[in-house]
């Protein structure tokens, strides 16, 4: 039996596939490569000395999904395929709702037709909107502020409704905090197509000389040093979380939601200082205005994942930074060398 990973060539997907292959799972990837590179697949093979089956295509392509489910014995699906840039989603709402919401509907329809009802879904901490309090618990209220966040919330709701309608469905929703870092081999990592929106990817490109300086968005937040605080989590820990979620799926028919984070927040200034210490690279930066939609502080209560999934993040901020830099310095242009 195989695990289908949608979006398996992307940043989180490629790391998740490595962990699955290392755990001797058979893996099938479907990815349209809209924000991923096919080279990641040969790197996965190099890391694991194992191969997986790859289909290039979209989750909107129902005929392709039918073919995949007909040709392979699929046990469960890890659904990571989706568009993920908050600001971009404000300009392209239709594209975000189509890919993220319609894509999930089509995937679930095909799964149901083939009697595959085990699903791990990639959601985001963005669904909490302005948090009720810190740390953020899974039971806190939700309220997304962008089409991207709304699309994740809509999918969470449709999965809940699907489970209500047919409790054979076994669904785990993972709400990621801020994934950073790369595989220790330096062979796979985050490869933004454009100028990065996210802090760690931006810092890495400053360090490698591709970008001149970092703008720190806001230094007047109510945080210890005035800059934004986030819960950064190593992508390898995150990938492991998916394996724990899969293992749990086989034992109960339920729907469950988990935060995946470390439970600890770091400020932008702490990230810059630690990055400089570890890499010996200076990160020139200047303070600028707050970025629209940003919040002061965001970090997870991770106790639910610890108790119910037997999972917790193990890798330190130092390891996150070291591995991000290892990947970036070995691959200054990402997969496009």
Closer residue to ligand WQD in complex, CB, 74/199? 199
Distances (CA, A) of 188 to 153, 226, 286: 29, 33, 30
Choosing from 144, 268, 300, 305, the residue that interacts with ligand WQD (CB under 6 A) is 268
Give the binding range for ligand WQD (CB under 6 A) out of 12-20, 64-72, 160-168, 191-199.
191-199
Name residue 287's beta-bridge partners.
216
Backbone angles phi, psi at 30, to 5 degrees: -120, 125
**Catalytic residue among 11, 96, 128, 148, which?**
148
- The SS3 of residue 212 is coil
Residues 22-81 that bind ligand WQD (CB under 6 A): none
Examine residue 107 and say whether the peptide bond preceding it is cis (omega within 30 degrees of 0): no
Q: Does 223 bind ligand WQD (CB under 6 A)?
A: no
Site string for ligand WQD, 292-321 (x = CB under 6 A): --x---------------------------
Give the binding range for ligand WQD (CB under 6 A) out of 213-221, 237-245, 257-265, 300-308.
213-221
Closer residue to ligand WQD in complex, CB, 30/180? 180
Choosing from 117, 118, 230, 248, the residue that interacts with ligand WQD (CB under 6 A) is 230
DSSP letters along 137-185, please? Answer: PTTS-----SHHHHHHHHHHHHHHHHHHH-TT-EEEEEEE-EEE---TT
State how far the Cα of 177 lies from the Cα of 336, in Å rounded to an integer: 28
Q: Report how many residues bind ligand WQD under the rule CB under 6 A.
A: 18
Give the binding range for ligand WQD (CB under 6 A) out of 47-55, 101-109, 198-206, 317-325.
198-206
Q: Does 124 bind ligand WQD (CB under 6 A)?
A: yes
Choosing from 36, 199, 206, 233, the residue that interacts with ligand WQD (CB under 6 A) is 199
Closer residue to ligand WQD in complex, CB, 69/258? 258
Distances (CA, A) of 259 to 223, 256, 309: 22, 10, 11
The pair of three-digit structure tokens given for residue 147, joined into one six-digit string = 């089409």
Closer residue to ligand WQD in complex, CB, 27/199? 199
Half-sphere exposure of 120 (CA within 13 A, CB side): 31
Q: Does 259 bind ligand WQD (CB under 6 A)?
A: no
Q: Does 102 bind ligand WQD (CB under 6 A)?
A: no
Choosing from 178, 219, 323, 331, the residue that interacts with ligand WQD (CB under 6 A) is 178
Tell me the closest approach of the beta carbon of residue 244 to ligand WQD, in angstroms: 20
According to DSSP, residue 226 is labeled S
- The SS3 of residue 259 is strand
Question: Which of 226, 228, 222, 174 lies closest to 198 in space, CA to CA?
Answer: 228
* Chain-centroid distance, C-alpha 27: 18
Clarify whether 148 is annotated catalytic: yes
Listed in sequence order, the residues at least 6 apart from 143 whose beta carbon sits closer than 8 Å to its beta carbon are 128, 129, 130
Closer residue to ligand WQD in complex, CB, 178/259? 178
In this structure, the strands spanning 229-230 and 266-267 are: antiparallel
Give the binding range for ligand WQD (CB under 6 A) out of 23-31, 39-47, 214-222, 251-259.
214-222
State how far the Cα of 303 lies from the Cα of 297, in Å rounded to an integer: 19
Residue nearest to ligand WQD (CB): 228
Just list the catalytic residues.
148
- Which chain residues interact with ligand WQD by CB under 6 A? 84, 86, 124, 126, 178, 197-199, 202, 214-217, 228, 230, 268, 291, 294
């Amino acid at each position: 039996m195989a695990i289908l990973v949608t979006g398996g060539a992307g940043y989180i997907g490629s790391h998740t596939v490595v962990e699955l292959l290392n755990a001797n799972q058979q893996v099938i990837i479907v990815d349209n490569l809209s924000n991923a590179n096919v080279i990641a697949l040969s790197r996965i093979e190099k890391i694991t000395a194992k191969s997986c089956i790859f289909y290039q295509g979209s989750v909107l392509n129902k005929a392709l999904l039918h073919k995949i489910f007909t040709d392979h014995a699929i046990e469960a699906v890890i659904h990571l395929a989706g568009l993920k840039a908050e600001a971009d989603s404000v300009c392209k709402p239709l594209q975000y709702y189509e890919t993220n919401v319609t894509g999930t509907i089509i995937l679930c329809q095909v799964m149901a037709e083939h009697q595959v009802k085990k699903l791990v879904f990639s959601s985001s901490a963005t669904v909490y909107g302005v948090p009720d309090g810190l740390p953020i618990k899974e039971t806190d209220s939700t309220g997304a502020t962008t089409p991207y966040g709304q699309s994740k919330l809509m999918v969470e709701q449709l999965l809940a409704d699907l489970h209500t309608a047919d409790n054979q469905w076994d669904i785990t929703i993972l709400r990621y905090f801020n994934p950073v870092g790369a595989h220790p081999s330096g062979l796979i990592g985050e490869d933004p197509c454009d100028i990065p929106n996210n802090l760690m990817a931006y810092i890495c490109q400053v360090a490698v000389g591709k970008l001149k300086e970092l703008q720190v968005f806001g230094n007047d937040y109510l945080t210890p040093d005035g800059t934004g605080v986030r819960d950064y989590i190593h992508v390898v820990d995150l990938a492991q979380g998916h394996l724990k979620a899969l293992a749990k799926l086989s034992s109960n028919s339920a729907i469950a939601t988990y935060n995946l984070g470390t439970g600890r927040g770091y400020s932008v200034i702490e990230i810059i200082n630690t990055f400089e210490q570890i890499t010996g690279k200076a990160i020139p930066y200047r303070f600028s205005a707050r970025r629209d939609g940003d919040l002061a502080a965001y970090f997870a209560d991770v106790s639910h994942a610890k108790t119910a999934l037997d999972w917790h993040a193990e890798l330190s901020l130092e390891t996150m930074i070291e591995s991000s830099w290892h990947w970036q310095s070995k691959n200054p242009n990402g997969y496009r060398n």
